[in-house]
Amino acid sequence: MKKILATDPMKFDQINLFILTFLIYSSVYPILSYTSKIYKELFHVEAKSYAYTILLSLIQIPSSFFVSRIADKYRNHRFIISILLSFFVFPFLIENLLQIKFPTAGMTWRIIISSSLSFIGFGGLNPILDCLVLNRLSNIGKLTNYGCIRVAGGLGKFTTNMIMSLPVIGNNKAGGIYLSMAFCLISIIYLFLVAPQYEILNEKTAELKSDMINDMKKNSLKVNIQNLFTISFIFLCIISFLIGIQRMVFGHYLSVYLLKNNIKNTKISKYFAYHCLLEIIVSFLNSYLDRFFGLYLCLYGAAIFSLVRTYIYAFFSIKNSSFTVFIILLAETAKGIYTAIVGYSINRIVYHLAVERNKTLGQGIIYIFYGVLTELTAGILGMIILTNSKEGGDLQKYFKITAYIGSPLILLPLILWKINKK
């Protein structure tokens, strides 16, 4: 690696970002992909009660605003990422250890506290990581390679899903927590020793750079938010929310739904690994899709594929069906495609719409719409639909309502494209 650094610093920077992204995603997704399973099997929280824990995701709103603002002011993205990652993973590990020693004592409060701390950690993690990656790529003139860096995220999810598909790991109720913990420790070491730091772009003199930092510190959060909220940014927030609500509902309840329909844990992990593998392949193509169609039409394609997946699970039965494997593979194919494209297109659009003083804040606000308000909506819908009802059948009813909510995606991305068409 030192040889690469000496001969080609730009190549080293990209390899560095690739490894960092792989490690962060590998740290998060063994827990994130199986959250409902962990709560059900390890913490003994049923799907009906689990909907209430989702409401704690509101904590991510102040967390995302606060840490994004700090990152924009002080530029210490590496340190902030390491703190947030620790907040996300360690509460699950601690609660798992408490389950062994004190299986029932203070269970409700323990779940509330561990979930809250975890949401605080996850609140700013993705936007700050994305902004750091985009910043470094911009500095070396390789912004179009953002899709290749995102491959690392898909590779991280694929790797951890394949590990989780091993019976010795997947059948262990705390297997995902231990796997996340291992990658988390490696990530923190990498962040402090190797990972690159955020740098202000294209500054000609140290004096100008210093003035810019001072200006950012003086600008209030209110002013920066007002500067961000153009018509295009508002449309992007709405689109992000509608795509995110589908992602959130299935992220929380799909594994439980599949288990209810007699699909084993190890098979579920393989299905998830399949969509991660497809996500990796499509991520390699993102820059080409961008050049041919443009970011806004790419976003439209991602929105349609997200709807396809939702409609498949909402309106096709997988219970005792001879087409079960085909239906799930078709849905997870759509998942792999839209996941690869949506992150690339939304983050690139935000980075383009924002100015230097609020780029991280812009990513943070989009994350609130994509990953926090959607949690709140998923929690409220879950409380209404799943409480006092048959869990298995009503999960599909839940998916149908999610499909109806997402239906405006057929038109909204096209309107955003029209607004920004030159």
Residue (of 64, 209, 196) closest to 138 by Cα position: 196
Q: What is 2-199+207-420's CATH superfamily?
A: MFS general substrate transporter like domains (1.20.1250.20)
**Residue 200 backbone phi and psi in degrees, to 5:** -70, 140
Residue (of 91, 114, 361, 102) closest to 216 by Cα position: 361
182: Cβ–Cβ under 8 A, 6 or more apart, which residues? none
User: CA–CA separation, 65 vs 142, rounded Å?
Assistant: 28
Residue pointed to by tokens 């070491």 = 189
Q: In the prediction, which pLDDT does 257 show?
A: 85
Is residue 190 within 8 A of residue 19, CB to CB? The reply is: yes
Series of mean pLDDT values for 10-residue runs along the chain (422 residues)? 53 88 92 78 71 77 82 85 93 85 74 85 87 87 83 88 82 85 94 87 49 53 71 92 91 82 81 87 88 92 95 83 84 92 90 74 85 82 68 75 93 91 68
Q: In the prediction, which pLDDT does 303 show?
A: 95
Q: In the prediction, which pLDDT does 201 show?
A: 60
Radius of gyration of the CA atoms of the chain, in A: 21
Amino acid, single-letter form, for residue 174: A
Residue (of 85, 50, 51) closest to 67 by Cα position: 85
Q: In the prediction, which pLDDT does 227 show?
A: 72
End-to-end, the C-alpha distance of the chain in Å comes to 43
Secondary structure (DSSP) of 172-212: STTHHHHHHHHHHHHHHHHHHHTPPPP--TT-SSHHHHHHH
Q: In the prediction, which pLDDT does 205 show?
A: 42
Is residue 63 within 8 A of residue 365, CB to CB? The reply is: no
User: CA–CA separation, 353 vs 310, rounded Å?
Assistant: 29
Q: In the prediction, which pLDDT does 142 show?
A: 83
Secondary structure (DSSP) of 327-343: HHHHHHHHHHHHHHHHH
Beta strands (DSSP E) in 253-373 are: none
Question: What is the CA angle 27-32-38, rounded to 5?
Answer: 110
390, with CB counted inside 10 A (0-12, 13-18, 19+), is: exposed
**Residue 245 backbone phi and psi in degrees, to 5:** -65, -35
Q: What does each C-alpha distance from 250 to 69, 123, 265, 270, 272 come to in angstroms? A: 30, 19, 16, 16, 12
Amino acid, single-letter form, for residue 47: A
User: Which tokens hold the place of 56?
Assistant: 């704690």
